Each structure stands twice: as structure tokens, then as C-alpha cells.
Amino acid sequence: MYPIFLCSVVALGFFIERLFKLRRSRVLPRLLIQNVNDLISRHKYNDAVYLCQGHPAAMARIYHAALKINGQPRQAIKEVIQEVGRREAADLGQYIPVLSTVASITPLLGLLGTVSGMIKTFNLISFYGVGNPGSLAAGISEALLTTAAGLSVAIPTLVGYRFIASKADGLILELEEQSLLLVDALKGPER
């Protein structure tokens, strides 16, 4: 039961951390996107770079990298954006596999408890015979409790994993869409 409890604490901690990290306002703040796009449309690239420099959002780092090579051919800007975008996508996906792992191992830990409880039950049967139902019930109870605990941790963790993974994928897709618009806005003459 202790490992199952530890898994539940780990899963809850990482789920809350990812919820905080994957807020749209932290990754793709609307106001930043509007302001930078406005500055780009008015060809105020230095002001746009300045606006992005200290901003903690993932999109700000992509804007900043692309704005530094403004006027280059489309392919050069696209490569820089892809490189920065890969790092940002990896950051958004960080720790999500932990939730998947917890969802996978907690039923196994519950099954291990089931096996342990049944072994105790059969040891009691072999030692005392079938005569004491109370001692048999304790082993069976342990088996059922650990199975239930493992499943009660695994099921919500799997749901949380799917939710967080979907949220990260959606934000990454939005980053890609904004990045494509940025490439077209900043591209210079093709060579």
C-alpha cells in the first residue's frame, strides 16, 4: 500500500505542476501575440524584439529568435523557428510520461498486493488448515484492498495523463500555427 500511496502523491504533484505550466496564458498569451503582430505589421522590429526579450512565454522565445533574423529567406527563418519550437515543445511535454508510468504501474502494485495476500492466505491454510475463517479473511481482505487501491490510483491518473497530453498537444499545435504566420510576416527576398 505504501508504494501505491507514493505513486498517488507523485501523480497528483506532476498533474498539478503540468496544469500550472500548460496554461494558455503562460504559453501563448493573446496580448503578447497581438502586440508583437501589430509591431511587425508596422515594421517596428526592434520594439517587437524588446517586447519579447523578458517575457516568460514560449511564444515570446519563438518570436524573439525569429525577429533576430528578420528579413532572411523563408527557409532560414523557418529553421530557426523549428529549432526553438522543438525545445519549447519538449518543455511543454516534460513530466507527462511520469503520469503514464504511474497509471501503468499502480495496477501492477495492486496485483502484487493481491498475490501477497493470497500467499499469506494459503500459508495459513497449510499451517492451520481451513478451520479459522477469520485468519483467511484477513489475507483475502489484503488482496482485495491492494487491488482496489491500485485501480483507484491508476484510473484517475490515466484520465489526468490523457487530459494533460491533449492539452500539451493542442498548445504545441497553436505554437506551430503562430510560427507559420510569423515566418510569412518576416521573410525576406528568396535567393
Q: For the chain (length 191 residues), average pLDDT per consecutive 10?
A: 94 96 94 92 91 92 91 88 94 95 95 86 75 71 88 96 96 93 76 55
Contacts of 70 (CB under 8 A, 6+ apart): 45, 77, 186, 188
Q: Are 110 and 118 in contact (CB under 8 A)?
A: no
- Per-residue CA distances from 167 to 6, 19, 27, 54, 147 (Å): 25, 9, 11, 25, 30
Element (H, E) at 181: helix 133-186
Per-position b or e across 84-122, b if 16+ CB within 10 A of its CB: bbeebbeebbeebebbbbbbebbbebbebbbeebeebbe
At 98 the pLDDT is 96
At 189 the pLDDT is 62
DSSP category for residue 29: -
| Residue boundaries of the structural domains of the chain | 2-94+167-186, 100-164
Neighbour-count burial of 171, counting CB atoms closer than 10 A to its CB (0-12 exposed, 13-18 middle, 19+ buried) = buried
Q: Are 60 and 75 in contact (CB under 8 A)?
A: no
At 1 the pLDDT is 85
At 7 the pLDDT is 96
